[in-house]
Amino acid sequence: MASMIAVPASAESFEPVKDLADETTIDIDPVGTYHAGLWGKSAAEIVAYHPGSKRIFTVNAEAGAVDILDASDPSSPTKVGVIEAAGAAVSDGSTIAPGAPINSVSMRPDGLGVAAVENPVSTDPGYLLFFNAATGENLGAVPAGAMPDMVKISHDGQWAVSANEGEPADDYSVDPEGSLTVVELPATVRLPDAARQVDFHAFEGAELPGVRIFGGREDAATGTPKFPVSENLEPEYVTIEGTTAYVSLQENNAIATVDLAAGEVTDISSLGTVSGMDVAFDISNKDDEINRINIPVNYLRQPDSIASVNINGTTYILTANEGDARDYDAYSEEARIKDLGDEAPGLCEDNPLRDVLDYDKKSVAGRLKITLADGYDAERDCYAATYAYGTRSMTIFTEDFEVVFDTGEEFEALTERVLPEAFNSNGTTDSFDSRSDDKGPEPEGLTVGTVGSHTYAFIGFERIGGIAIYDITDPAAPTYQAYINNRDFSVDPETDLAAAGDVGPEGLAFVPADESADGTPWLIVGNEMTGTTTIYSLTDLDPQPAEPTEPAEPAEPTDPAEPTEPAAPTSPAEPSGEPTAQPSTPPGSAEPTVDPTVEPTDPTTPSRQEPSRETTGVPSSQPSPTSTAKPGSLARTGAPVGFLIAWGGAAIIAGTLLIRRARMS
């Protein structure tokens, strides 16, 4: 059975909840927290880390700034500076106006940093602001597309890519095109020479099966766009492998593949759906209980954060399937199932949801938020299928977007077991079950990192809070490892923010041990609602033994079986019986052990009736195999020792024959 442990936080009076899987290979503990002191003001969103200066850069969105935190003492991160967007010079001769929000930040190891800056008029083009992490110097900006929502620097430091979401105005008077800004970065810490704007025009009129193209200015009756597909696509998040970028299009339930060298989008792939008959979610916020059910609706993945990792030469894409709807003054796709047939067309006679008894009651499926943009049969004026937002899961895809693994219902099963009193809450007190009708725990933040010999995915739950850790060393069979929630649910953050802990994890950054300030791996988390930036220490519970050197092979002696007779020996030499070369390590030393690997188990389906460790769908990892050899054992070195004995015996016999022949002569 998994253990649930309360652990002390360095600067808090409460004890965060921590859950470890049986035989987990990783542990996680909060080390220190920086408090911006603002509730619900997006004062800590996306985070980045500069190893050279041991500084954390935290996006303070509403302030239009990046806060600089000194993390040389991780138990007490301290604000030491700020990078402001307003007034920065842009390469086109303009300057960034006051009130420009910052949405994202990314960092190159040498200290070249970049922030995604939204125009104060959100539908106008934004900027990419560059800075020197070591000095805090503002280096200037280059133009970007409308509403740059996220920016990422590639692993090799050659590229910076921003996802320009291009959301419409509330009245749909303007709906800017979604786009990407691709910047080839200089080798030194300075402002890049130029930026390339990459559009989606090549996909106008193209067949895009499964990609949601809906709710544009035509649907809002405010205009006829020249590029309707480009206006409709809304880039959200970027991950980069080599010269290929992958960009999530959240509302469109798709990912775009981008050739950075060519500066063009090469493909747009649908991410598909998950059937509600395969996963059991709680979809009512009005039944005052945890009631996870299977029901014939389709859940759209719609990821926010995405990540990529190369394992054994193969690229995998990971998605945090939060879900999101278009809900504006001039156009909204949102409805509840109970509204169908009243405020919207009803279900078709063959819609399988009709077979569910009292499906439209608030205690069954009536409260579930669905989209009116999918499943509609125009000929019959009814909904043949029903679609909801987000699969409340993490998915691993191949680079061709074939599903390798999906956590399914495991996140809801996990929080049901570990924090039942806060299940599907919105992160505040007395909000039990409040998000069940609307995307549940909302997995949003996502990053990957390697600790010891294992590769892990770290997933942040935006609503109930907390971080889940999965071992993805075998991408086809990930295993749950741990969950920690650094939140005091007995405290109302609106009245006592300092004591509440972390609410609303948004941005996650992994820091390897050789780059952190204390020599241990870190996970840094920016929490949007509480304005807190928390450093977690990661501990490898599966340390690998040092690799011993392979013993050298002894030199091959000549065959002593047939000794030759000396011509005229004057005095026979005594045979020593020693070989001509010794092994580089003493006989009896063990050979190197084989590197252990994790043998993951398939996830099991959690039971809603008995939310015990064995039935929650949160499997434990299997123990790593260990070598049966014992140090000093002769089991592995018997053959070399036997060879030495045989060779020495033969040499003694040969020497005896020589002595006898000498005496007889």
pLDDT band at 428 (very low <50, low <70, confident <90, very high): confident
Beta strand ranges found along 342-442 (DSSP E): 369-371, 376-377, 382-383, 387-389, 394-398, 403-406
Q: Which of 39, 79, 40 is nearest to 57 (CA)?
A: 79
User: Phi/psi of residue 523, each to 5°?
Assistant: -120, 120
pLDDT of amino acid 8: 37
The percent of the chain in helix, strand and coil, each rounded to the nearest 5, is 10, 35, 55
Global pTM value = 0.82
- Reported as a single tens digit per residue, the pLDDT across 535-571 is 999 999 997 654 544 444 444 443 434 433 434 443 4
Helices (H) and strands (E) in the chain, counts: 4, 39
**Res 13: pLDDT:** 67
For residues 500 and 63, what is the distance between their CA atoms, to the nearest angstrom?
22
Dump pLDDT digits (tens) for 242-284.
999 999 999 999 999 999 999 999 999 999 999 999 999 999 9
pLDDT in tens, 600-621: 334 333 333 333 333 333 333 3
How many other β-carbons are positioned within 10 Å of the β-carbon of residue 279?
Answer: 24
Instruction: Give 66's contacts (C-beta < 8 A, 6+ positions apart).
Output: 57, 58, 59, 60, 82, 83, 102, 105, 113, 115, 131
User: Does 107 score more than 60 pLDDT?
Assistant: yes
Please tell me the predicted confidence (pLDDT) of residue 430: 84
pLDDT score for 592: 34
State both tokens at 217. Answer: 């200015």
